[in-house]
Every structure is written in C-alpha cells, then in structure tokens.
Amino acid sequence: MAGYAETALRHYEMLGDHLANLKGYEAYGARSAILRERPDLFAQGFVGGHPWGTPDQVIERVKELSDTFATSEITFVFRYGGMPIDMARQSMELFAKEVLPVIKTFQPSPLAGSAQPVG
C-alpha cells in the first residue's frame, strides 16, 4: 500500500512546486511543500486511513469509517504494485467470504446537517 501511495504522489506530481501558484490549487501547493520535506506522511496517511489486515481488522475499520462519515459505499483495492495476482485473488476471496457479509449489515446514519439534493 505504501508503494502504491508513492506511485500516486509521482503520478499526480504532488512533490513538485507547480501547484503553488496555480489558481484554485494553492492548497495543494502548500501540501506539496510539506510532502517534499516529508514524503512519508502521505504513505502513512494512506495506509492508516484505509481498511486492511485480518478480516476482523477490516470489519472494525470499515465500521469506524461508516460510523464516522456515514459511509454507505466504499471501494476496496485487492492488488497493489507488484503483488502476485494469486495473492490478490486469495485476499478478494477471503474478503467476500468473511468481511462482505458483515459489512453489508452496516446501516450508517446520515451525517447531521448533510447537504440536501438540489432540485
């Protein structure tokens, strides 16, 4: 996952200084300046913010995200970087068997004061 985060930094050119003076992207420019000094921060945040680990750990993290952000949809990635496809397949099958049935039962409450549809 950390390797994937590193490739995202490179792909989106988040370590450059070109965003600092681009109208509407100034906040990204400020983050880029910090990341140039501490590129490990992005990987730490990425790994720390996503569900991963044993089925019980994934369930616990998804429940936490669901409760905190009223998350009713989430996308999972099962293959990162050079991970062998068989390992990713095993992970996906374990997820489908032990995690998915549990997280399907979650019913997050809408966030208070959430935006209402327009129209």
Does 20 reside within a domain?
Answer: yes
**Is 56 inside any structural domain?**
yes
Judgement on whether residues 57 and 97 belong to the same structural domain of the protein: yes
Residue 116 within any structural domain of the chain? no
pTM of the complete model: 0.71
Number of domains in the chain: 2
Q: What is the mean pLDDT of residues 78-83?
A: 85
* Measured distance CA(63)–CA(57) in Å, rounded: 10
20 with 57, same domain: the answer is no
Instruction: Please give the residue range of the domain that contains residue 17.
Output: 1-49
DSSP run (H or E) holding 90: helix 85-94
If asked whether residues 45 and 55 sit together in one domain, one would say: no
First to last CA, the chain: 40
Which of 30, 49, 68 is the C-terminal boundary of a domain? 49
Confidence of residue 85 (pLDDT cuts 50, 70, 90): very high
Same domain for 55 and 41: no
Run of H or E residues at 61? helix 55-69
Q: Which of 20-29, 67-76, 99-108 has the lowest mean pLDDT?
A: 67-76
Quick check: is 115 in a domain? no
Q: What is the pLDDT of residue 117?
A: 64
Question: With 60 as the cut, is the pLDDT of residue 114 above it?
Answer: no
